[in-house]
Amino acid sequence: MRILVLGGTAFLSAEIVRQAVAAGHQVTCLARGSAAEPPAGAVWLKADRASGGIAYAGAGGEWDEVVDVARDPVPAIQALEALSDRAAHWTFVSSCSVYADASVPGAAEEAALLPQLAPGQPSTPENYGESKVAIEEATLRAAAGKAHLCRAGLIGGPGDGSDRYGYWPGRFARDGLPVIVPAIDNSPVQVIDVRDLAAWILLAAGRQLAGPANALGEQVAFGAYIAASRAAAGHEGEALPAEADWLADQGVGYWAGQDSLPLWLPPAHGGFMARSNRAAVGAGLQLRPWQETLADTLADERRRGLDRPRKAGLTPETEAKLVALLRAGA
């Protein structure tokens, strides 16, 4: 296939490029390359999508597949206007954040969506779901019948810069000091390995699959994930469970960000990491054992440095304070 990846320099998009090149496809990456270059073997079309429709002027000819991972509707719509009539198949990597209700476990692709971001309204982290809905709608209009809306869940594995999945094995490997763990043992953790997601996107492109599909990992109990992380890291210190209300009272954040506890979800989000992946699995999505993703993530954490600053998780200073408060019964 002749594949155009809008991006191709970071995490998922780079993994798509690596796998596509390895499979013998002709791959072009349209990217600025300000942070990293595309993987070896791909053609690099240097362009800045912030410049508008002119960014796609060099992407001439017909494409068997175009992959877009955009978060902002403006460049996504500009790409569709410039390229959709020359693409046999279009993949938009969306998100399960498009769904309006995160409280119901087992929800599938038919679940109601958030309202789309209004035209002219800036795309921000706070309206991420609405932005993705707007791009989905634009994709369906411009590439009707040939658009795969890949609604990804939390993506983990080697190279993840968000620290949401790797925090826990990395934290247990860092030292033998006590580790604060939210007391949510039975809550689900649903992560898809970036390598499995990239392989699914390429498989769906080759088969020209269309429509929405939840690209999600299998569900694992948080307690089982934590126990496996401790064992893999060889942590012999204490794992101190802390109740959700107490953590919230101490100002610990949910999910992601500085001084947060990754994979701990806010109230009324019981279905956020418990959605159905049956449609994608039935169409060919293959998932490796979650323990393999965990082991490879821990190895990647060690390579990148266990003491590095993180985008998610507790700092050592904050965790030490919380340990003292918890032991004091405060």
Give tens-digit pLDDT for 159-174: 999 999 999 999 999 9
The yes-or-no verdict on residue 26 having pLDDT over 70 is: yes
DSSP letter at 214 equals: E
Q: Into which CATH architecture does domain 2-152 fall? A: 3-Layer(aba) Sandwich (3.40)
- The pTM assigned to this predicted structure is 0.96
Q: Which amino acid is at 204?
A: A
Q: Which two tokens stand for residue 147?
A: 């658009």
Q: Among 289, 244, 283, which residue's Cα sits nearest to residue 267?
A: 244
pLDDT at 210: 98
Q: Does the pLDDT value for residue 35 go beyond 90?
A: no
Which value, in Å, is the radius of gyration of the alpha carbons in the chain?
20
SS (H, E, C) 148-160: EEEEECEEECCCC
Residue 56 pLDDT level (bands cut at 50, 70, 90)? very high
**330 pLDDT exceeds 70?**
no
Structure token pair of residue 210: 């269309």
Q: Where are the domains of the chain?
A: 2-152, 161-190+218-275+289-328
Amino acid at residue number 303: R
CATH of domain 161-190+218-275+289-328: 3.90.25
Mean pLDDT value across residues 311-318: 96
Q: Which residues contact 119 (CB under 8 A, 6 or more apart)?
A: 73
Lookup: tokens for 217: 């990992």
